[in-house]
Amino acid sequence: MDIKVKSSMLKRQETVITVAICILVIAVTILILKAMGRPLISNSGTVKLWHSEVVSSENSQHLSDWYSFSHIVHGFLFFFILWLVSKKIPLVRKFSIALVIAVVMESIWEIIENTDFIINRYREATIALDYFGDSITNSTADIFFMSLGFMMASRLSVIASLSIVVASEVMLAFVIRDNLALNIIMLIYPIDAIKEWQLG
């Protein structure tokens, strides 16, 4: 068999296995979220492609919203973190393995994010007053957006990746007065001045 053909077959096989493992991880995550009592879709009974209202009980219930951009940023950050780790653990340099690790990390966050502790923390410390957790549909989409960001980071230069992350954060701060950085700050160490600014 020609070396190029064999190499192509092995690469295709690796891609299929990687996708299968990622789907399995997401399926397990869905089952865990279901066991936690998370609804499959919004309580309104609808599934929207895009939901734009932030201060709403419908936020984080549909396929995408303003926070989807933050999940894309997750992908860029996970890629950077795993790139740093790969200097110590060469196995992580393999894209397929790194992607699976990133999907596992995002899935774990989706589970943690939907615990009563984090939901109540969001409601107490951030502008998410009407937040009651994500729907399973939204959590699944969040994992997809993270994967999209991860794949973008793997193909773009450091400068291009950094530009997208900064642009996303600035855009979200301007449009909805929230972003990934502010979200982390308000979860860990709430600052009244930030909350007052976010509430307008």
User: Using CA atoms, how far apart are residues 21 and 175, in angstroms rounded to an integer?
Assistant: 36
pTM over 0.75: yes
pLDDT for residue 124? 86
Q: CA neighbours within 13 Å on the CB side: how many for 113?
A: 22
pLDDT for residue 138? 98
pLDDT averaged over consecutive 10-residue blocks of the chain (200 residues)?
Answer: 70 92 98 98 95 91 98 98 91 90 98 96 82 96 98 97 98 96 94 90
Q: Where are the domains of the chain?
A: 3-38+57-199
- The encoded tokens of residue 85 equal 């780790």
How far are the Cα atoms of 11, 28, 77, 83, 167 from residue 160, in angstroms, in the given order?
27, 34, 13, 16, 10
Helix then strand then coil, % of the chain, to nearest 5 = 70, 0, 30
pLDDT for residue 11? 84
For 133, other C-beta atoms within 10 Å of its C-beta total: 20
pLDDT for residue 93? 84
